[in-house]
Chain A
Amino acid sequence: MKILIVDDFSTMRRIIKNLLRELGFNNTTEADDGSTALPMLKGGNFDFLVTDWNMPNMEGIELLRQVRADPALKSLPVLMVTAEAKRDQIVEAAQAGVNGYIVKPFTAETLKEKIDKIFERLEAG
């Protein structure tokens, strides 16, 4: 399972990377915003994307839209981990096709629960 972690704060990328490692996902790569993440996704055979929303250059919501618009990436599971807490934004992310939405600050249990849920759905559907 190859996972891309996208967040402009390196501290948060490390936290997510560590949490994913605890959950048994050792193959992670990092990107600091949507515009660096997108080319990596296009050539990288990633199985899962964890992204922040509020980032310079290309924001997470735009990255999500670009992923869904790309025939090769459109079914990539995307989990958003962000401090964005407006209801409109969550609805926007849902409409753009996000697979899970975690609001910061979050716990290790929440991350595990959402990832499990995403894969359960993918296996079922």
Chain B
Amino acid sequence: MDNDDTSIKAQLDLARQLVAHLEAGEGDQATAVIRQLRIPYERELFDELGKLTRDLHEALNSFRGDSRLVELTRDEIPDAKERLNYVVSMTEQATHRTLNAIDEAMPMAETLHARSIELTGRWSRFRNRELSVDEFRDLARDIDEHFALAGTETDRLRSLISEIMMAQDFQDLTGQIIRRVIRLVHEVEENLVGLIRLSSARMEPVRQLPMAAEGEKEAAETKGHGPIVPNTQDAADDVVSGQDDVDALLSSLGF
């Protein structure tokens, strides 16, 4: 209170001096008084600025110290792009595999169908006693041929349908990869929210969001990983290259 009173009194004195100087037309002295009047406000501004600078510095330091964020930007984001590219090429392959099987199966089914229709027509003419002996001989030969072909063709169709079914395994494999990227996006989001909180730290206390993400990451390590994606950190792990590798490893363990 005393402080305020004395400062108000000092300001009042200065204001009177300012009026006196102005009335006397002493411009230089008036300017000097104005400068003196400004001092306490400038100090407050500098104090405020100093505090802001210190907060910003601390915020930046705490972010620099968070290695998870570094890991995210350096390794995991580029990996995520690679994972999504891999998903695109896997879905492309699966679609081609399906369409190739269809390309082969469709004409096969069509000829099988057309031949059946044609033979049925001739067969009913035979039942109606409309065929000559020569025509019947031809029909018998064609039916023989049809039976032989139908056996192999339907077997081939069955295996093509099975191929189409197996091609659908991409949904599981790409799904696992996409879920992994979704987890990453979620983690990046949390870190960004943390960054925004830090930059507005003067309005509310900083909550350690990056720490929560860290806990999540630890849990993720004990979890299943999903398919290995080439050209990512996955390649650094000691992984098998296929079923033969798995069998060799298991047999070395006495399986």
Instruction: Verify A101–B224 contact, CB threshold 8 A.
Output: no
**B contact residues vs A (CB 8 Å cutoff):** 162, 165-166, 168-169, 171-173, 175-176, 223-228, 237-240, 242-243, 246, 249-250, 253, 255
The tally of residues in A whose CB lies under 8 Å from a CB in B reads 35
Decide yes or no: A54 and B223 within 8 Å by CB, A9-B171, A103-B243 being known contacts: yes
Chain A nearest Cβ from B163, distance in angstroms: 9
Contacts of B255 in A (CB 8 A): 94
A88-116 interface mask toward B, CB cutoff 8 Å, 1 = contact, 0 = none? 11110010000001111111101000000
Decide yes or no: A106 and B243 within 8 Å by CB, A54-B224, A94-B255 being known contacts: yes
Cβ-closest chain B residue relative to A121: B255
Docked complex Cα distance between A94 and B173 (Å) = 23
List residues of A (1-23) whose CB comes within 8 Å of B's CBs: 7, 9, 11-12, 14-15, 18-19, 22
A124 is an interface residue with CB less than 8 A from chain B: no
Q: What would be 23 A-B contacts, judged by CB atoms less than 8 Å apart?
A: A11-B171, A12-B171, A15-B166, A15-B169, A54-B176, A54-B224, A54-B226, A83-B228, A84-B225, A85-B239, A86-B225, A87-B249, A88-B238, A89-B225, A90-B240, A90-B249, A94-B255, A101-B246, A101-B250, A104-B172, A104-B227, A105-B169, A105-B173
Docked complex Cα distance between A14 and B171 (Å) = 12
Docked complex Cα distance between A3 and B150 (Å) = 34
Instruction: Verify B226–A83 contact, CB threshold 8 A.
Output: yes
Contacts of B249 in A (CB 8 A): 87, 90-91
Instruction: Verify A55–B224 contact, CB threshold 8 A.
Output: yes
A28 is an interface residue with CB less than 8 A from chain B: no
Among B162, B166, B171, B224, the residue within 8 A (CB) of A84 is B224
